[in-house]
Amino acid sequence: MAVSQLDDVHAGHARLGVILDDLDDVGARQASALPGWTRGHVLTHLAEHARALTRQVEFAIEGRLVDFYDGGAAGRNAVIEAGSGRPAAELRADVVSLSAALESAWARVRPDGWASPVRYRNGTVLDTVSSRWREVEIHTADLLLGYTSADWAPEFCDYLVEFTAPRVPEGVEVQGALTDIAAWMAGRETIGMLTVAGGVGALPELGAWP
């Protein structure tokens, strides 16, 4: 269950904070692994994702539902763009404080509260944990600050492969290192080489994010 992933998310938050200790303003303006996004964009997204999940959890505790982002996708994109150029110290403080606020919100969830509905992906409070695990692991690698998909734990790779399985055309089997398969299925560059089973043909085009 996703609740067992809480420790992994806490560890990911702590790791990210350490990685950002040496980030300066010049580094924050440099490109990330995501086309068109600097590290400032990625960090603002991670902070706003934590803020949005916290709101989902807090409303669910009260038995209420709320939209994930104010203004939908357009509102999300505007906030990320507006916040991406902030000083590195402010970016780091935002990520760390909002990640801590999310952990505090989860700590207030009663044992029977994990099944409470949230509007995010029409899921439950339980699903917010998996969502944060995905975002922290993938986007920490996207920052290009030394943490890569090769550092992803097998448990995370197994989870990510299962989550993104609908992206792969039916009947296609890809072979290679588990970390590379997970990275490819998440739409990221691989470190090692992947092949299609049977050695025939190129890697297929992936479908939409599930």
The tens digit of pLDDT for each residue in 137-192 reads 999 999 999 999 999 999 999 999 999 999 999 989 999 999 999 999 999 999 99
Helix (H, G, I), strand (E, B) or coil at 175: strand
Q: Which two tokens stand for residue 207?
A: 């479908």
Give CA–CA dist 186/180, Å, rounded. Answer: 10
Kind of pairing, strands 195-196 and 174-175?
A: antiparallel
Q: How many CB atoms lie within 10 A of CB 1?
A: 8
Asked if residues 109 and 127 have their Cβ atoms less than 8 Å apart, the reply is: no
- The one-letter amino acid code at 168 reads V
Residue 200 pLDDT: 65
Give CA–CA dist 151/144, Å, rounded. Answer: 12
Ranges of residues in the chain with a pLDDT under 70 are 1-3, 199-201
Give CA–CA dist 134/128, Å, rounded. Answer: 10
Residue 202 pLDDT: 85
Q: Per CATH, which fold does 2-147 belong to?
A: Four Helix Bundle (Hemerythrin (Met), subunit A) (1.20.120)
Residues of the chain with CATH 1.20.120.450: 2-147
Asked if residues 106 and 55 have their Cβ atoms less than 8 Å apart, the reply is: no
Whether this model's pTM surpasses 0.75 = yes
